[in-house]
Amino acid sequence: MKNIMMITLLITGILTADTVSKFKDFTLAEKDTLKADVKVYNGDAEIKGLLDGSLDVYSGDVEIAETGNVTGEVKAYAGKVYRAGELDDEASYFVVDELKSLILGKEYGKSSVSIGMGVRGHERSLTIDNDDQKGFFFHNSIIRKDFLSYSKVEGLYLGLNADFDLLNTKYADLKMNASGGYAFRMEEWEYYFDQKISLFDDKLIIGGAEYKSVASEDQRKLSSSMNSASAFFLHQDIYNYYMTEGFGLFAGSLYKLEHGDDRHEFGVRAGVYSEGIDSLRNRTQWALFFNDRDFIPNFDADDGDMVELVATVRYKGDIKSLNTLVDSYYTYEQTLDQYDQAFSFKKGLFSLFVESKVKNMFVFSNLFRLESTSAGDGPDSRIVPNFKYITMGGTGTLPGYKLNEFAGNRGFYDRFTIGFTGIDLTEFRAILDMGEAYTVDPEKGVAESIGDFGIRSMKTSFGIGMTLGDNYMFSVHKRLDSSKNPYQFQLSYMYNF
């Protein structure tokens, strides 16, 4: 029902000529003036300047600073309105929160609980909570699912998520996340829960997790909600899956800095995880359309146990003074070979995403990723698990090529985009994708392992796309090295992870 309501509101916003619609947090800077009615969906609004019009926020809060002014009506549905820090009850329609308080006995400053049953998009901010699909302290590979999902190995999955705020004091916070559900075709229960204690405003975070869930290394290529929709409607499931069961301990720190309207966030974490890996196979071939074809077979994952160290450093900057967004991170994984286990490997992943807008008319963005996987220092009988190797091709990387057409233990990918604003909510973009996945023998080196390597051998494709809102894009791509079946249409969810 919530999704139906959001789609209706979206259509209403598109058809209203004097309406500005946003699908993420909206900020009107001090001394700026905007003459329009503003609608914000699934995000917060912060008004520091003059908004000559009305403001409606759905599933978010409104903060009107002392320097801010809204000439029209202000309403927050499933949210709250604050004027100079004071709650405006008449403009706040947060019945859902009040109902939770009545049923669950929520007391502000002590404990609270929120239960999620909707499909939520990826957020741009670092957080110790797991209310986005890729919380910073969430397991790297486990697929974070909401109320409903669909895949070739699980069939229909139904579940719930709950975030518990158990302790909220000046110096320490204790939070717990729990999620679980049932995969009908696998006939398996899945679960994930963690507990985190945060000290001194997230300067030190310590926690642990326990889980049994379907996992995939392909989540960074395509969001789980988009992959689920593709499987259900189009009979195309992009992911390769495996089952993981285990527990982990982690620690880290988050820092948030503001300089004027510029915001900078830094995060570091390290964790040790002990888990068992099992293969999964396709359990269903049904989809709503295109049932004359089957799902691509799920590959057999290398089964076994492993104990690994995972460390991540991340920086995210919303530099409004330059109309630029920067998101960069490095993740390192290594098995701890002093333990008896099936695998021994090391893996590194570096990602850099930069997006700049010029005069709110043109957009330039570049996403670059570099990956490397190699055998560890364990006995020769131990192996690098095949799901840790790099694959490219199809939706998410090199869209002009077949799904997972290229594989190896080294790889890089780069997407450069130039776009310009069309009508409200829409940008037209030209996209250049380039990359390669290849196998390198450590004893021979890169040159001898892959032979002639350069611009001519690099896999490239060119595309033209149109965005819908801030997260979705329809596009068509053509591979540049062949005229045989060169075109591929694609609906993608734009985010960096």
- Confidence band of 453 (pLDDT split at 50, 70, 90): low
Instruction: Give residue 348's pLDDT.
Output: 95
Task: Give 146's contacts (C-beta < 8 A, 6+ positions apart).
Answer: 116, 117, 118, 119, 120, 159, 161, 225
Other residues' Cβ atoms within 10 Å of the Cβ of residue 258: 10
Other residues' Cβ atoms within 10 Å of the Cβ of residue 289: 9
Find where tokens 């982990």 sit: 248
Pairing of strands 172-183, 155-168: antiparallel
- Which residues face 304 on adjacent strands? 277
pLDDT tens-digit readout, 204-214: 999 999 999 99
Instruction: Give residue 183's pLDDT.
Output: 95
Q: Specify the higher pLDDT residue, 260 or 275.
A: 275
Cα dihedral 110, 113, 114, 117, rounded to 10, equals: 170
- Cα 125 from Cα 257, distance rounded (Å): 12
Instruction: Give residue 447's pLDDT.
Output: 52
Q: Is the pLDDT of residue 407 over 80?
A: yes
Amino acid at 290: F
Mean pLDDT, rounded, for 236-247: 94
Q: Specify the higher pLDDT residue, 337 or 47.
A: 47
- Cα 396 from Cα 220, distance rounded (Å): 8
- Confidence band of 185 (pLDDT split at 50, 70, 90): very high
- Cα 190 from Cα 319, distance rounded (Å): 40
Cα angle 378, 384, 385 (rounded to 5 degrees) comes to 135
* Coil/strand/helix, residue 101: helix
Residue closest to 48 by CA, chosen among 320, 297, 347, 238: 320
Supply the pTM of this predicted model. Answer: 0.72
Task: Give 7's contacts (C-beta < 8 A, 6+ positions apart).
Answer: none
Cα angle 369, 371, 372 (rounded to 5 degrees) comes to 165
